[in-house]
Structure formats: C-alpha cells, structure tokens
Amino acid sequence: MTDDGEGPVLARRTSARLHEIGQTIDDLSLEELALRIEVLHAEIERLEQARKSKEATRAGAEALFRF
C-alpha cells in the first residue's frame, strides 16, 4: 500500500470494502492479511483522532459551564 501524503490510499477507497469485521479470513494470503492489518491500523488511528477531538470539545464546553 502506498501513501500519497493524505494517508493510505486503500484506506480511502470507497468503491469496495477491503475488510468487513467478522468475515472469514481462512482463504487470505499473507499479503492480503498484512494489507488488511495496515488498513485497519489506519482506521483505528482515524477513530482515535476523532475521539480526541470530541473529548477536547467536551472539555471546553464543561469548562465554560462550570462558572
């Protein structure tokens, strides 16, 4: 998988799902498994960044209403 400066290319692919949670993985090659792991790591990072942003927003709102 390559990175074009805006994140992993396959992580942004919208035309097809690369991996569905719970799907059978028995027939996947080592390369396919590695690719899916890489894409899932990128998705985890994206989710963690979203969570941090929402936590910061919440903390700001709570600080505003504590007075």
Q: Residue 60 and residue 15: Cα distance in Å, rounded?
A: 38
Give me the pLDDT at residue 39, please: 92
> Which of these, 45, 48, 33, lies nearest to 7 by C-alpha position?
45
Q: Residue 1 and residue 9: Cα distance in Å, rounded?
A: 7
Give me the pLDDT at residue 59, please: 93
Give me the pLDDT at residue 16, please: 53
Q: Which residues are within 8 A (CB) of 11 and not within 5 positions of it... i.e. 6 or more apart?
A: 39, 42, 43, 46
Give me the pLDDT at residue 19, please: 83
Domain boundaries, the chain: 10-64
Give me the pLDDT at residue 1, please: 46
pLDDT in tens, 11-65: 444 335 788 889 999 999 999 999 999 999 999 999 999 999 999 999 999 998 8
